Amino acid sequence: MTKQEMWDLINKENAIKEENEANIVAAEKKISDLQSKIDVAIRKKDSAAAIKFSDQLEAERRKLEIYRNIVNSYQYGVDISKEDFMKCFATDITTPFYKRSEELRTELTAKREEYIVLMKSAYKELNELSCNAHEFMDLACKGKLDINVNYPNVDMRNYFINENRYFFED
């Protein structure tokens, strides 16, 4: 199914929903008119007219129920412009799977390489911090820095470095 076919389908569903919503409004108006006619017939003590109007009232209530069920069954009514709808799809839905999987693989490889670069820079920062850690901790303990320092213990840091070493190899 192409984008245009999907757009046409959405428009068709929206048109059906709007038509049934208009039918609901018309049925509600007709029901209120029939109720007022029944009240007038009862005041005039015209039982034949009251029975006739009450039968019509029941028929209108059944129609109203049907229209409401139809409107409630259309859950996919979309309020979106055609341009925004077309922007939702970067590629056609009919793109072959193997082609899309190649695109995703390339994208994933690029993200992995970015991640490795970030991890290498984090490792370098961690090394710099560990070289200056004693000076930093001395300043923090003496209250010369307005921060609360929770430096991880050496075992945890070494575990992190050893477990993730393959990220940091040059």
Q: Pinpoint the alpha helices (H) of the chain.
A: 3-43, 47-73, 82-87, 97-131, 133-141, 154-163, 165-168
In this predicted structure, the answer to whether residue 74 has a pLDDT above a threshold of 70 is no
Say if CB 50 and CB 21 are below 8 A apart. Answer: no
pLDDT of residue 154: 57
Mean pLDDT along residues 15-21: 80
**Cα distance between residue 119 and residue 125, in whole Å:** 10
Q: What is the mean pLDDT of residues 149-156?
A: 52
Among the residue ranges 16-30, 74-88, 105-119, the one predicted with the least confidence is: 74-88
pLDDT of residue 82: 60
Measure CA 118 to chain center. 30
| pLDDT value of residue 147 | 47
Kindly tell me if the per-residue pLDDT of 160 is higher than 60.
Answer: no
| Domain spans in the chain, listed from the N-terminal domain onward | 3-87, 97-168
Please report the sign of the dihedral spanned by the C-alpha atoms of residue 68, residue 71, residue 74, residue 79. negative
Percent of all residues in the chain with a pLDDT value above 90, rounded to a whole number: 4
pTM: 0.39
Q: Quote the CA–CA distance of 104 and 95 in Å, as a whole number.
A: 13
- Please check whether residue 167 is in contact with residue 123, taking contact to mean a CB–CB distance below 8 angstroms: yes
* Rounded Cα–Cα distance for residues 50 and 144 (Å): 93
Residue 57 has pLDDT above 80, yes or no: yes
Percent of the chain with pLDDT over 70: 57
Written as six digits, the tokens of 122 are 């984090």
What is the per-residue pLDDT for 85? Answer: 59
